Structure 1
Amino acid sequence: MHHLSRRSFIKSTTAASSGLFLIPDFLKNVPSNRLNVAVIGVGGRGQANWSKIPKENIVALCDVDDKRAAAGYKIFPNTRKFKDFRVMFDQMSKEIDAVIISTPDHTHFAATMIAMELGMHVYVEKPLAHNVWQLRALKKAAKHYKIVSQMGNQGHTTNGIRLIKEWYDQGILGEVREVHAWHGTFNFAPGNYFTKPETFPPSVDPVPDYLDWNLWLGPALFKPFNNAYAP
């Protein structure tokens, strides 16, 4: 594994507010121990993630949408920028310690698997993958390549969840036969999340000049662009 001396100290504990892994206090601000982090998906949720690690080295930014990534590009004017994460991995595989993946759901598996195969630690947003086979493949890869990985499900990083798991692992709860769970219904204002296309099947809209639609689709089947897909 590359850069073991810098990576071995990474802990898998997380910040409940951000979901990102924490670096132990005694290692913070030590130049030789700063992580070289690549960000795939710079705008939106990606910005919420990379902004939580200001003391690490952001060495690469990758986004198919120049408009959404503009704020991040402005903050890191000298950081290398890419549209295709495959090109980024190919050119910078020896320079990256960890990757934050905050892309649309359908590209999570591909980007995560490539990163782990290169020995990079990974934080990836939920959902982790599209099916059970992909999930099992990622689990095996994380174990095989001995890397730290985390899916960004912030609600499951709290102390209460960890305590229940410890009780279960130690047999304190006995045989669990039924679990009751609930959540409050969120009343999202219009426009906060994806809106439905005005017609179905969706109309074909012109692709904005700031978006690489083919790279946005990634491994997904080709679909003509519609503004509802990538607002």
Structure 2
Amino acid sequence: MNQNRRKFLRNTGLAAGSFFIVPRHVLGRGHIAPSDKLNIAGIGAGGKAEVNLPYAWNNGAENIVALCDVDDRMAVNARKRWSKAPYYRDYREMLDKEHKNIDAVIVTTPDHMHAVQALAAMQLGKHVYVEKPLTHDIHEARILTQAAERYRVVTQMGNQGSSGDDTRKVETWIQEGVIGEVTRVHVWTNRPTWPQGIDKPQGKFDIPKEVDWDLWLGTAPYRDFNPTYLPAIWRGWVDFGTGSLGDMGCHFIDVPFRALKLGYPTAVECSVTRTYTGFFQEVFYNDSYPLSSKIHIQFPARDSMPAVEMIWYDGGITPSRPPELLPDEELGEWDGGILFEGTKGKLMAGLFGRNPTLLPTRKMKEVNLPAPKQALVPGGVEGHQKQWTDACKKGYGTFTSSHFGIAGPLTETVLMGNLAIRSFNFKEGEKFNGRKKLLWDGPNMRITNFDAANQFVKREYRGNYKLQF
């Protein structure tokens, strides 16, 4: 090589290398220089955020640049840990003032605020990580699914089991026909572990100075402050949470949803516990979810897979022990389980598809099980958030395990159970809906045989909160 050629290669190499340290402001909104740290804002700084924010921060591999919480008491630890990050109570003010410094947003708030907060960030071109369930109602889930594609941002829901090795195993075993064609799957949880099936709390209480009650209520109808609702007991109240289904459905149902390639269901029905105040005097507490429920969700045939029924149980109810399970063998795990029924056998698993086991259990030593087809996520369940932060740096189109194209439809299925529960207790004239089977038009998000139930597909927001794009 002559001197001129060496000089040319050296100069062009330096020019190519210099591209990778272009500052963020030069690349423009929504583009992150690969050498930069990700600048992350937290909407919600306490509770589950005390897990989510440190995982995303990853010992300083990324930056936490802004914090927001409507309850200062919940934000104490985060504000100490990231003391230089500006702190706000109103997420709208934070996004307005800090959006130029933010690349991505983690939403860790009560369920009723997920959709408006996530959409506001997405409309600014920010990547989003939203705790499960993705939304409070079905319409919101559909909107966020569409918004992720429109605004071309990297998304992830906080059901970390979707990145787990066991979820990948179950998905492959089912789709490879290890237990034949699956026509029924049982899913159950020990939730709720908070008060439910009770009447609206009474009494007048002073609002703590650390709490902005109006911002905490957000999209929900106004009600007086009551310490019963927070910090985490909001899950059992229909205006704020999504009950047992919202808490654990996105974890447990995620496994069969993927393995069976489920889409929109066609029908749902339920039965719930009832409260009696006297001889045959029933009371329905519509302000909170029931103590326990059993829900049947029907799905049509898909590709080469037959129609399937999913049965959900909560509040201590479980399916019957399969005869293949020995008397001393545990059904699922302490907090719930999954049981697939196929034409050639059965498959049992725990949370996140954990410990997948063919029944009878001796089959685990007799059957040559296929390896997972889909690539495993580094770190598995523990790598779920890092997968998202890495994808944010690479940009839209980078795969994440629970991007909204998956998480949105999954959340819709989970919330179909709550639609059935709320319709069960709904009184039309002098009659309760009871165990009427609700027929579902998925593409149009509509119950076709009980119009009163459609009010639970899309709720009305309080004040000037809107969900539109």
Normalization by structure 2: what TM-score?
A: 0.39
One of 39, 43, 53 as aligned partner of 1:40: 43
Shift of 1:187: 9.3
Note if contact 2:131-2:157 (Cα within 8 Å) is conserved in structure 1: yes
One of 59, 65, 72 as aligned partner of 1:59: 65
172-181 vs 76-85, greater mean Cα deviation: 172-181
For residues 213 and 192 of structure 2, what CA distance do their matches in structure 1 show?
A: 31
For residues 136 and 96 of structure 2, what CA distance do their matches in structure 1 show?
A: 25
Shift of 1:97: 0.8
Partner of 2:29: 2
Letter of the structure 2 residue corresponding to residue 138 of structure 1: L
Using a 3 Å threshold, how does the CA distance of structure 1 residues 71 and 201 change in structure 2: closer, same or farther? closer
Q: Deviations over 1:4-52 (max 9, x none)?
A: 244xx7xxxxxxxxxxxxxxxxxxxxxx321000011101111111111
Using a 3 Å threshold, how does the CA distance of structure 1 residues 5 and 208 change in structure 2: closer, same or farther? closer
Residue 186 of structure 2 is aligned to residue 159 of structure 1 = no
Using a 3 Å threshold, how does the CA distance of structure 1 residues 156 and 204 change in structure 2: closer, same or farther? farther
Aligned pairs for 1:1-231 within 5 A: 2-6=29-33, 32-52=35-55, 53=57, 54-55=59-60, 56-165=62-171, 172-173=176-177, 176-183=182-189, 185=190, 194=194, 200-231=200-231
Q: Deviations over 1:58-81 (max 9, x none)?
A: 000001111111111111222111
Q: Find the structure with the greater CA-based Rg.
A: 2
Q: Deviations over 1:103-123 (max 9, x none)?
A: 111111110111111111111
Using a 3 Å threshold, how does the CA distance of structure 1 residues 157 and 84 change in structure 2: closer, same or farther? same
**What are structure 1's unaligned runs of at least 5 residues?**
10-31, 189-193
Shift of 1:100: 0.9
For residues 204 and 154 of structure 1, what CA distance do their matches in structure 2 show?
A: 39
**What's the Cα RMSD here?**
2.6
Note if contact 2:148-2:155 (Cα within 8 Å) is conserved in structure 1: yes
51-60 vs 208-217, greater mean Cα deviation: 51-60
Partner of 1:12: none
Letter of the structure 2 residue corresponding to residue 226 of structure 1: N
Using a 3 Å threshold, how does the CA distance of structure 1 residues 204 and 49 change in structure 2: closer, same or farther? same
Letter of the structure 1 residue corresponding to residue 31 of structure 2: L
Letter of the structure 2 residue corresponding to residue 2 of structure 1: R
Partner secondary structure for residue 130 of structure 2 = strand
Q: Identical aligned pairs, as a percentage?
A: 42
Letter of the structure 1 residue corresponding to residue 147 of structure 2: A
Structure with the higher fraction of residues in strand conformation: 2
Q: Deviations over 1:141-160 (max 9, x none)?
A: 11111111111112333122
Shift of 1:172: 3.0
Using a 3 Å threshold, how does the CA distance of structure 1 residues 214 and 140 change in structure 2: closer, same or farther? same
Letter of the structure 1 residue corresponding to residue 148 of structure 2: A
Note if contact 1:195-1:228 (Cα within 8 Å) is conserved in structure 2: no
Using a 3 Å threshold, how does the CA distance of structure 1 residues 141 and 124 change in structure 2: closer, same or farther? same
Partner secondary structure for residue 67 of structure 2 = strand
Count residues in correspondence: 199
For residues 106 and 140 of structure 1, what CA distance do their matches in structure 2 show?
A: 19
